[in-house]
Structure 1
Amino acid sequence: MRTGSTHVTTLSTTHWIDGAATGTASLPSEDPANGQVLGHLADGGATEAQAAIAAARRAFDRSAWAASPRLRQRVLLDWAAALQAQAGALAELLTRENGKVIAQARGEIAGAISEVEYYAGLARHIPGHVLEPEPGVLSTVLREPAGVAGIIVPWNAPAVLLVRALGPALAAGCTVVVKPAAQTTLFNAALLAPLLQHPQLPPGVVNVFSEAGSAGAALLASSHEVDAICFTGSTAVGKTIMRSAADSMKKLSLELGGNSACLVFADADIGAVAPRLAQAATIISGQQCTAARRVLVHASRLGQMKRALAGALDALRLGPGIDPASQVGPLIDRRSRDAVAAQVAQACAQADEVLLRGGVPDGELAQGAFLKPALVYHRDSGADFVQEEIFGPFLVLESFEDEAEAIARANHTVFGLSASVWTHDGARALRVARALRNGTVWINAHNKLLPEVETGGYRQSGLGRLHGYDALADFTELKHIYQAPGVAGAAP
């Protein structure tokens, strides 16, 4: 996958299949802050996906990659070092193509590098175990690479959400086909370039194709030559992938929608908590699956929370992500901005009380994909706009009378990705965290994600876990080898 310099007008990228660039960069990619064309990417589909799958299969079956943990570690460590050397330029490119504020982009690049280093460390320690269930009988259990892994990367956090799948897949010995989101393909190309060009990486181990549509991604899901799929995105698309993958019975790692509830108890400092909740709701302009969506506050503090949270959201500074003073950047593109704005407007029309209306800003920002944060109060947790994941800067405020109601309200959702609990009562915090049906629960914090710690969802928020050691399970198979050598000196 070729890239030009990181100057915003000269970028271009093509597919990378079987160790070589292919295709023509013709599809434009725009800066969502102003509509400026940053560069062009190749627009592929099923043909490129099929070629990439075939190359990955050959590399898995014929190269020494799957059996070379020291090589895998070396390649990953060298990739991390190359990314560290380019961290500033990568963060700027991420901000320009995705729109997120530069501080978040820098944090994401740092997190991605840390994640690559983490899985480089694990590459040389993927142990099995041996049991002697009966005298003279040995059962050896090995953890082996699953085979060819397809990785479908979203646009909202294209660095971390790529490496948290690619890292364990490569560490385990899989070969891979990566399909980045068209909106951030230029960035993913720059991120992957040092890896793809590594002189010790066998051709076909990592293949990348881009597309504006979804035909190639659909082939990854349905192909019997793909052994595992990792997808991060909406629950609706995740269900489609599950249906497409059913015939091949491939392994699935799916992180899907979220509807994170933040439970704020009566002893919390509302003045201190409200700005942190505003930040949690507007991370990547609200376009993160773990972003705060619902704030549940004890009824005795409802009035104070209404004022504090509305004020904190309204005080956030919208602007181009590249401006260090900006706190909330644009959404990924104007089409998404318009769709989210329509959902927010409908929610405001139905809510019991509109505390902050949000909407498209006036002036220069109207030319970009900007959307001001919105906040409503509503009593019915079953309302559509409470139950749906509105992927933008939109928050619903609710109230509860006691701990039991807080838990019941928070669990009233088909999702189960993340939640947070805000209280100074340590026993209550842990008690409530255990009762919430979510894969991650933060106490007096939100959106804290670490390379070493598994994340994933309950219920319709997905299958499997990424980050941490357990991510290897999504890219490996367990094999039991039985043998009965007997016991030395025993009678035959």
Structure 2
Amino acid sequence: MLSYGSYIAGVEQPARQWVYTLRSSAMLRDFFGAVRLKRSLERGRIAPEEAGVEVVGRSAVADQEDMAVALRRAAAAVDEWAAVPAATRMRVVAEFHALVAEKHDALVELMIAEGHPRSLARWEAAGMLAATGPATRDFLSGQLEHRVRDGARELRVRRVADGVVCLNPPQNATVANALLGIWALAAGNALVVRAPRSAPLGVMYALRELVAPALERVGAPAAALSVLCCEAGATLRQWLASPLVDDIMYFGGSEQGIAFGAECVAAGKKPVLELAGNDVCVVWHDADLDLAAEALSEAFYGSGQICMVPNCAVVHPRVADELLAKLAARAAAIRPGPPEEPGALLSPVLRTDRFHEVLGQAEAAGAEIVCGGRRLDVDGRPDEVRGLFLEPTVIRVDGLKGARDLDAVRHETFFPLLPVVVPEEASDGELLAQVTDFVNSNEYGLRNSLWTGDEETAERFLSRLRNGGLVKVNDSHIGFLPVLPTHGGTGLTGGPGGEANYPLLRTSHLQGVSVARGVRPSEAVFGGPAAPGGPVEENEGVQV
């Protein structure tokens, strides 16, 4: 059984209270029995050695005083760590990447134990590797500093660490999002992570077994990293009130997240917001429909409870019927099951009442259910009373006008529910403009994608598209790629100032520097002689 105390500035603290993590499959088999076991362990009625194999591990529960110590130690570490050369700090990411590759299988198995279907856990691990690989590191290292020579001056534009960065991962993808903090560390910040009490073990493992050793390998100060399992509300209030905190990376729903971002600004903190997504995938008449249907079926990963899956499709009317038939066939093959099973893709859904409300509203407005719509048990059998899973559901919505009056189209639903909007017939030029305007008018803006066989159509779409932090053309909607960001977006996804999120850049700030020799201040004030031929680029980027 894994056991992690609070990790404060490189030291594991003794625990006064524990949160125990049971295998998700045990909860599916006997929910009430598993809850009784968990409570008995946490109340000390059963000794850990008597718990059995269904208990994966435990995490110490921290309090506000523990957090206060972590923040003080982090603030003391910033000056030392930020002064380390950028090339050395970037090596932390390379070491982390190597550790993820080395411990890939153990990491995947732990995420599965916490309830991630195997395919979903493997996808998340693939994202960690793609986002920290050599091509991405080389690209981002080039953003850290730029130098030019201008006569007697060396001019630099560089990125400087913000200071203490606090990270609050979401409950649905705790590990992958907590590990975005590796880039905040590479920027020269100290990092303090809250492991959610509902799912702390994966975060504790990832930070302790992947991030902490990477920092140690490059000689970083131990106080640059702390990770504590603690209650969300009190912790966020403590971060807002602390003068030691500079940035807060917050993951959650849009309504709460936008409000929290405003609180951050009022308290003098930089909010880095990762909120809801409501991604749109456009399928044009000349698309490869088999591949497009495969990409659209990614909407059902984790039962749609992932912000970056397709949430809405807009399909050219000439191919709508054919695509819907292909999509329905794919949806019918997606089944629930214990997360350990290789074919499992769906996760349990708690708010099934809300799912039926959204679906009923769409039907009342004229939408057609193409497939799905039922509750299922773990074996895939319909069970409208006790079913913990929802059948992958596709609905057809005719007409762009009025489509966003439906909650299924307008908002991220977090269900395995994909509305397919079929526009009215029009000329291709007019229709492409209407569809692009529809995508741009989306209140959210995480990812968008397009399927087309025509390069000109793709370029016209891209030239007009302003919404979103990432755009894919003829590609997996959720697949991770080197160099491109994994997170970030506009509107209700990233809040004011939202954009593609590279945490290395978002947790640092630009600073201009001039280093001169023999320059007379009076000449500089009134415009001294320029270097012959103007400024000359001296070097670009940081060699890693």
- TM-score tier (shorter): 0.7 to 0.9
Match of 1:27 among 2, 19, 39: 19
Change (3 A) 1:396 1:64: closer
After superposition, the Cα gap between the structure-2 partners of 1:245 and 1:359, relative to the gap in structure 1 and judged at 3 Å, is same
Give runs of aligned pairs for residues 419-430 of structure 1, distance below 5 A: 419-430=448-459
Contact persistence 1:76–1:116 (CA under 8 A): yes
Counterpart secondary structure, 2:271? strand
Q: Which amino acid aligns with 2:115?
A: N
SS at match of 2:266: coil
For 1:80, give the aligned amino acid: H
Is it true that 1:288 corresponds to 2:306 in the alignment? yes
Are 1:150 and 2:172 counterparts? no
Larger Cα-atom Rg: 2
Q: How does 1:249-264 map to 2 (within 5 A)?
A: 249-264=268-283
Which of 438, 446, 451 does residue 468 from structure 2 map onto? 438
- The residue aligned with 2:52 is none
In the alignment, what sits opposite 2:113? 96
Instruction: Tell me which residue corresponds to 1:6.
Output: none
Return the letter of the residue paired with 1:354: I
Query: 2:67 & 2:139 partners in 1: Cα distance?
Result: 29
The answer for the alignment partner of 2:534 in structure 1 is none
Q: Are 2:260 and 1:241 aligned?
A: yes
2:484 to 438, 444, 453: 453
Report the AA paired with residue 176 of structure 1.
Answer: L
Cα displacement (A) at 1:136: 5.2
Distance 2:334 2:365 in 1: 23
Alignment-derived partner of residue 171 in structure 1? 186
Does structure 1 retain, via aligned residues, the 8 Å contact 2:448–2:471? yes
The answer to whether 1:14 aligns with 2:5 is yes
* Structure 1 residues 452 and 475: CA distance shift in structure 2, 3 A: same
Counterpart for residue 5 of structure 1? none
Contact 1:45 1:211 survives alignment (8 Å): yes
For the 8 Å contact 1:464–1:474, the answer to whether it is kept is no
Return the alpha-carbon distance in structure 1 between the equivalents of residues 237 and 388 of structure 2.
Answer: 29
Q: Secondary structure at the match of 2:343?
A: coil
Which residue matches 1:354?
A: 369
CA distance in 1, matches of 2:240, 2:328: 43
Provide closer, same or farther for how the CA distance between residues 408 and 484 of structure 1 changes in structure 2, counting only shifts above 3 A.
Answer: closer
1:382 aligns with 2:408: no
Q: Given the superposition, is the C-alpha separation of residues 142 and 14 from structure 1 closer, same or farther in structure 2, using an over 3 Å criterion?
A: same
1:109 is displaced (CA, Å) by 1.9
Can you list the C-alpha shifts for 1:221-260, whole angstroms capped at 9, x where unaligned? 4433111222233212321321221233332322221111
Report how far residue 184 of structure 1 moved. 3.2
In structure 1, C-alpha distance between the alignment counterparts of 2:451 and 2:513, rounded to whole Å: 49
Separation of aligned partners in 1, 2:124 and 2:331 = 23
- 1:124 offset after TM fit, Å? 7.0
8 A Cα contact 1:228 1:474, kept in partner = no
Q: Compare 393-402 and 337-346 and name the one that shifted more.
A: 337-346
- 1:156-305 to 2 correspondences below 5 Å: 156-163=172-179, 165-194=180-209, 195-196=211-212, 198=216, 200-278=219-297, 280-305=298-323
SS in 2 for 1:55: helix
Task: Kindly state the Cα deviation for residue 219 of structure 1 after the two structures are TM-superposed.
Answer: 2.5
Once the two structures are TM-superposed, the CA of residue 216 in structure 1 deviates from its matched residue by 0.6
Shift of 1:121: 5.9
Relative distance call for 1:191 and 1:224 in structure 2 (3 A) is same
2:385 equivalent to 1:394: no
- Give yes or no for contact 2:187–2:505 (8 Å, CA) kept in 1: no
Evaluate the alpha carbon distance shift between residue 411 and residue 125 of structure 1 in structure 2; reply closer, same or farther with a 3 A threshold.
closer
Residue 130 of structure 1: how far off its partner (Å): 4.8
Task: Check the 8 A contact 1:340/1:391 in 2, yes or no.
Answer: no
CA pair 11-117 structure 1, distance change in 2 beyond 3 A: same
Deviation at 1:263, TM superposition (A): 1.0
Q: What is the match of residue 417 of structure 1?
A: 446
SS in 1 for 2:449: strand
CA distance in 2, matches of 1:65, 1:138: 22
Q: Over aligned residues, Cα RMSD in angstroms? A: 3.1
Q: Displacement of 1:205 after TM fit?
A: 0.5
1:478 has 2:510 as partner = yes
- Give 5+ residue unaligned stretches, structure 2: 28-33, 35-54, 426-430, 529-544
Deviation at 1:132, TM superposition (A): 6.7
User: Residue 538 of structure 2 aligns with which residue?
Assistant: none
Q: Distance in 2 between matches of 1:181 and 1:265?
A: 42
1:166 deviates by 1.6
Offset at 1:343? 4.8
TM-score for the superposition, normalised by structure 1: 0.85
1:50 paired with 2:68, answer: yes
Residues 49 and 347 (structure 1 numbering): CA distance in 2 closer, same or farther, change over 3 Å? farther
CA distance in 2, matches of 1:368, 1:208: 36
Secondary structure at the counterpart of residue 214 of structure 1: helix
User: Residue type of the partner of 1:404?
Assistant: A
Q: Look up the equivalent residue of 1:394 and give its one-letter code.
A: L
1:99-153 Cα offsets, whole Å, 9 max, x none, are: 23x23322322431443455766797664345677x7566544422111111121
